[in-house]
Amino acid sequence: MTIRTILAAIDLTPGSARVAARARQLAQMHGARIIGIHVIEGLPDRHAALPAGVDPSLLVAALEDDGHARLRAMLGEDAGLHVEQGRPHEAILGLARRQGADLVVIGPGVAQGLRERVFGSTADRVTRCAPCPVLIVRHEADTTWPRALTGLDFSEHARAAALAATRIAPGARQVFVHADEIPLGFEQSMLKVGTSQAEITRYRAARARNARRRLRESLAQAGIAGTPDIRIRPGDPAAVILAAARRSDLVVIGTQGMNAVSERILGSVARKVLMQARGDVLAVPGG
């Protein structure tokens, strides 16, 4: 993951200052350029019943001028500024593709109305279909992240997430967590056929050792040298990651390639982490 172009999605709510500050910090750290986008949503239908004498085109022009001015104040004179109309997630994704963005920085947002409660907030929908990693910012950007946690399984997109964690937060303590989920019915069946609790405990330990070995090999293939800090925890993957995330400033997860048909895939581990993590989250699409 090389960061040369950062797209900061700014909705001009109070939380936007955190998004802008983190984008500026990362741009300085990586020598990247910043592009800012603000999307004016709901025009012209929402303002169709304007008072007599109000020119809709002048109103739109005023909104665009205000958007440019506020983006410039938040991101600086050197940033490329874009104010567009339409659905925010579509405009953000379109600009990310056209500009070849290496990273999208966005706030978590809150679902507005029935449509967003069904299909997700802007951040949720951008994350599903983005062509590059997406950073969801919740914390102030006072410092770089002291500790980064990456959720790992044995997939290629998890390996990409681990590498992205080391690139976006090179000074952070890198921790990798893997959930070893053994179906309850499987262990119950083992007991029914006479397997002792001690043997089940040894079985769990053997699984953990095997997982640790495979994960070390996977991280080495990704170019992560040294002895990585790998934590193996039993349980549901989302619950394991969220529990470990309480002590981390940045959580990194891999997501599968998404499109409109497969958006529901994000509804499992990745979406739970995106929605419930207290800190910043970096979602990294696989290959």
Count of beta carbons in the 10 Å neighbourhood of residue 102: 20
Task: Provide the pLDDT for residue 243.
Answer: 94
CA-based nearest residue to 178, from 249, 128, 247, 228 = 228
Whole-number pLDDT of residue 281: 96
**SS3 readout for 7-61:** EEECCCCCCHHHHHHHHHHHHHHHCCEEEEEEEECCCCHHHCCCCCCCCHHHHHH
User: What pTM was estimated for this model as a whole?
Assistant: 0.86
pLDDT (0 to 100) of residue 130: 92
pLDDT of residue 244: 93
Q: What is the DSSP letter of 77?
A: T
What's the pLDDT score for residue 141?
85
The domains of the chain are located at 1-141, 143-287
Q: What does the pLDDT read at residue 257?
A: 40
Other CB atoms within a 10 A radius of the CB of residue 3 amount to 20
- CATH level 2 (architecture), domain 1-141: 3-Layer(aba) Sandwich (3.40)
CATH number among 3.40.50.720, 3.40.50.620, 3.40.50.300, 1.10.357.10, domain 143-287: 3.40.50.620
Question: In the chain, which stretches have pLDDT less than 70?
Answer: 42-50, 52-53, 110-120, 184, 256-267, 287
pLDDT score at 203 = 84
Tokens of 61: 């022009």
Q: Distance between CA atoms of 163 and 152, rounded to whole angstroms?
A: 11
Whether 143-287 and 1-141 are alike in CATH topology: the answer is yes
Please tell me whether residue 128 adopts helix, strand or coil conformation.
helix
Closest CA to 158 of 18, 30, 286: 286
DSSP state, 228?
Answer: -
C-alpha to C-alpha distance for 240 and 266, rounded to whole angstroms: 17
Burial class of residue 227 in the structure, from the number of CB atoms within 10 Å of its CB (0-12 exposed, 13-18 middle, 19+ buried): exposed
Asked if 245 contacts 251 with a C-beta cutoff of 8 angstroms, the reply is: yes
- Interior CA angle at 251 toward 250 and 252, to 5°? 120
Is 46 buried (19+), middle (13-18) or exposed (0-12) by CB count in 10 A? exposed
> For the chain, how many residues are written?
287
